[in-house]
Structure 1
Amino acid sequence: MKKRGREKKEGLNDVDVFVGQRLRELRMLAGLSQSDVASALGLTFQQLQKYERGFNRVSSSRLFKLGQFFRVPVSVFFEGLESRPATEEAEAQVVRSDDSDNTLRSREALMLARYYQSIRDPQVRGAIRELAERCAEQSEAAEAAGVPTTVPVATGRGRGRRGAQSTASQA
């Protein structure tokens, strides 16, 4: 008996997943919700969500509209694709990372980038960049030495200007 409708594909296409991730990054950098972008393009937020996860392929005309909406060239959606590992394992990791800590880190990184872009003072931007570089170097050195890294966390209680500080393990 013949099946109706589209047959399900075996897995997600690596390029579709990559383009969806770039779309999500642009949306988050702009500080927009899925509903905001979807309504501007005449879509439902569920459809945009499927694009972002790579479940549905973004057509060329839709990519063009997205580029216009975000005021970026269409090529932005493909930048870095060539340097990405093209293996089934990498593809599976992308799908799994949606529900893992990587998503949180990605979201934090995008939010930091958004905040950083809004800083107009070049000296402040330089100081923040230098701080981030030093923190990353310290973490890398500690990892190489096999030492667990900790970061101070302000609790809002206790003495001092901003409260006592405790340490929390960093994953």
Structure 2
Amino acid sequence: MTADLNQQLGATIRQNRVLLGLSQEALGKRIGVTFQQIQKYEKGKNQVSLTTLVRLAEAFETTVGELVESALGKEKPESGGLSNRQMLELQKRLAKLKPHQLRGIKLLVHNLVDETD
């Protein structure tokens, strides 16, 4: 069971790292470990200490609880029904839009919010 948890947490670490556009080396530098150690965490080969989990949460701008809940598949949506991970993914995709596309999205969201108020 511990190996499964390590693999689930590793997948969550990788997912968050990729969503933020960080390399294993960049994440390792942020939390004070080597990129090889990040590889081992992501593959579930090494267990993540509590100290490292706290550092990872800080690097991902989330909480330890949210990382663990995500790894266990119990992620709780934030306001608006989106989890932190979904919000990060949405933000990453929005950043790729051209200015005129982004204006259109803003107008759409503004109109949708006005309709529900």
Equivalence for 2:49: 59
Q: Which is richer in strand? A: 1
Cα distance in structure 1, aligned partners of 2:104 and 2:91: 17
Q: Which amino acid is the alignment partner of residue 55 of structure 2?
A: K
Number of aligned positions between the proteins = 89
Q: Which is richer in helix? A: 2
RMSD: 2.8
1:124-157 deviation digits (Å, cap 9, x = unpaired): 38x9xxxxxxxxxxxxxxxxxxxxxxxxxxxxxx
Equivalence for 2:22: 32
**Are 1:29 and 1:114, in contact at CA under 8 Å, matched by a contact in 2?**
no
Length-normalised TM-score, structure 1: 0.44
Structure possessing the higher relative contact order (Cα contacts under 8 Å, 6 or more residues apart): 2
Length-normalised TM-score, structure 2: 0.62
Q: Percent identity?
A: 32
CA 1:12/1:46 → structure 2, altered by over 3 Å: closer, same or farther? Answer: farther
Deviation at 1:75, TM superposition (A): 1.6
Q: Which aligned segments of 4 or more residues in structure 1 are displaced greater than 6 angstroms?
A: none
Q: Which has the larger radius of gyration?
A: 1
- 1:2-151 superposed matches below 5 A: 13-80=3-70, 81=72, 113=90, 115-118=92-95, 119=97, 121=102, 123-124=104-105
The gaps in structure 1 that reach 5 residues or longer are 1-10, 84-111, 128-171
